[in-house]
Structure 1
């Protein structure tokens, strides 16, 4: 235990597990792993941004570990052991685990949220398929709705209607991911489109998976999936507009950047078999500006309607465990400085993308 940790313990505060280098490692992981998420995160107050990096790092590394272990379930057991250490105050000597241990304690993120995430990973490991769209959304609730719930906890949001919309936003993003990755997933023997849709289209899902080619029927399914995602994005908009002013720009940016993937797929004729949808740095910068304009609008006064509320287990897990009161920190600088910073980032990414293409 370091001198700082000993002093904090003596004063009644729990020790801090993560170092500055640990936090930098988590930041670098998201910077290389998800340009869209990293871009949106830059608009968060610094304290929340660092916490979001910790969540992303653990979730991303967990997802990668499950992919590598080829379906034998050992990675899931290993992840559960790591979470035992995180929640038991003895994280393993990994940057992601040490950072996560600090975050879950500081923001009172319940273990159930991570258990649900791992259940989604278990579904992947087992090669599970989904009969209906509701089944697909149940999968999305686990692997992405859980992340929406985590973000709600970071922002101190415990109102059932607000947390419900945060989970909806996560599911919408997952449906967008599924639509974008249909071809890539099929090449890896995975299918996330509802089996009922194949039956209605007169296709055999198993036969198509053996030789995944773009068909008009697959385009129709992709369109349906994105239509459902768009309806969830619009539901989430009503909650995002009610978030504290300091976090509103980042969440609107994440929402718009992900929804843009659907627009690109639309422009490709809903063909994500032969081409993966990508958004240019210039377009991303424009969307960030649009997000900041949305965030500047007055907060709606009408109350949010609740669909399932506390009857949705993920919502109940967050709302029934209120965090200690705390205030988010704001990075110095105004809106103009924020936007200029993000524009500089995209300029840098564009240069690196061009360099990468020339060297490949």
Structure 2
């Protein structure tokens, strides 16, 4: 039932785009299928992002799915493949083709190419993302917290900026706050995955922090559970994320009203991961913090309640690690006015009912 509803909305979106962009019926049908395929990738591959994205207005959601699916498929090709260097070359080639208007004949690449053109997304953003993937493939380590943020700017803030652009938001102030929120989420991911990363031969904690604690990245891999120094490092990373959450959430006031619940939900769900880590004694070696479906539903529902104190911190400058992303957007041409609908209020509450249906389906599947 949920899949049918999503398919109908993708088809409706494609029909509107057909009239706006002079697409043939066949092209409109292909576009609908491309967006549907991107949605399936997100539903299966990123539960937290999918949960929050259901609250977006349908047009913004479709474009966000296309962006996120391209990022996800590219990351998996580099991270999970046998030849990361070859995969990176392939992804960079696909990116050039997409920006040339000649994408690879896949649903993800076709949808991505349409979105970057329609919303005038500068190539510097996905190129920075791929640089982050390259650092991952090379097993790059980071000396300072600023170095970690420089990495987070590439693998997380870039996505936040691109999604802001499909919301129709291009101001420096709003993009700076989107970068803050993206980095906060990435620092939370790093804290959550310390054990998993260590066992895979990776470490995203600042090396200077490890030295201060008398540890090495190799020491982390040999632990069955977190000792006191590792728990302190985990708490320290969550502490580093906290001011970024505050400034990032303040930027929600700069977004279209219909888009705010989704971003509130995303911020709340990721912040709840940090709370789960704390409740588990900051041990992310022996366990991986997970937010339950029921808790995600509660957070999503509460995201529709405006925060009275929600006011943009417009005077706070962009994080220096992200300034280049904001400059790239400023230098890009404005998108075509007819490319996308302006988000409308009142298009998202249906998602709460869908959340409940999905939760009921999952509980029934577990019982069976």
TM-score by length of 2: 0.86
In structure 2, the CA distance between the partners of 1:349 and 1:105, relative to structure 1 (3 Å rule), is: farther
Bigger Cα displacement from structure 2, 79-88 vs 337-346? 337-346
Q: Tell me how far 1:324 sits from its aligned partner.
A: 3.0
Alignment of 1:66-215 (within 5 A): 66-70=78-82, 72-211=84-223, 213-215=225-227
How many angstroms apart in 2 are the aligned matches of 1:187 and 1:170? Answer: 25
| Aligned equivalent of 2:331, options 315, 320, 332 | 320
* Residue equivalent to 1:59: 71
Provide the rounded CA distance (Å) in 2 between the counterparts of 1:334 and 1:69.
37
Could you tell me which residue of structure 1 aligns to residue 359 of structure 2? 346
Task: Say if 2:320 is the partner of 1:307.
Answer: no
The answer (yes or no) to whether the contact 2:77–2:84 under 8 Å persists in 1 is no
What is the Cα deviation at residue 238 of structure 1?
Answer: 1.1
- Shift in alpha-carbon separation, 1:67–1:215, aligned structure 2, 3 A: same
Corresponding residue to 2:234 among 222, 231, 236: 222
Query: Contact 1:173/1:229 (CA < 8 Å) preserved in 2?
Result: yes
Conserved 8 A contact 2:59-2:341: no
Given that 1:70 and 1:125 are in contact with CA atoms closer than 8 Å, whether structure 2 keeps it comes out as no
RMSD of aligned alpha carbons: 2.7
Whole-angstrom distance in 1 between the partners of 2:91 and 2:106: 12
For structure 1, the residue ranges without an aligned partner over 5 or more in a row are none
CA-CA distance at 1:315 after TM superposition: 1.0
What CA deviation, in whole Å up to 9, does each residue of 1:252-309 have, x standing for no partner? 11110111100000000001111111111111111112211136x4864x76114138
Alpha-carbon offset, residue 339 of structure 1: 2.6
| 8 A contact 2:251–2:313 mirrored in 1 | no
Which is worse superposed, 67-76 or 177-186? 67-76
Q: Does the CA contact (< 8 Å) of 2:56 and 2:348 recur in 1? A: no
How far apart in 2 are the matches of 1:5 and 1:262? 40
Secondary structure at 1:292's aligned position in 2?
Answer: coil
Distance 1:27 1:10 in 2: 24
- Compared with structure 1, are the counterparts of its residues 344 and 139 closer, same or farther at alpha carbon in structure 2 (3 Å cutoff)? same
In the superposition, the TM-score normalised over structure 1's length comes to 0.88
After TM superposition, give the deviation of residue 17 of structure 1 in Å: 9.8
**Distance (Å, rounded) in 2 between the aligned partners of 1:298 and 1:208:** 41
Q: Structure 2: how far apart are the matches of 1:138 and 1:303?
A: 22
CA shift in 2, pair 1:349/1:30, >3 Å: farther
Q: CA deviation at 1:343?
A: 2.6
Structure 1 residues 19 and 131, CA gap change in structure 2 (3 angstroms) = same
Q: Tell me if structure 2 keeps the 8 A contact 1:152–1:166.
A: yes
For 1:303 and 1:209, the matched residues in 2 are separated by 40
Give yes or no for contact 1:22–1:95 (8 Å, CA) kept in 2: yes
Alignment partners' CA distance in 1, 2:19 and 2:259: 32
Query: Quick check: 194-203 or 104-113, which moved more?
Result: 194-203
For the Cα contact (< 8 Å) 1:132–1:196, is it kept in 2? yes
Aligned length: 346
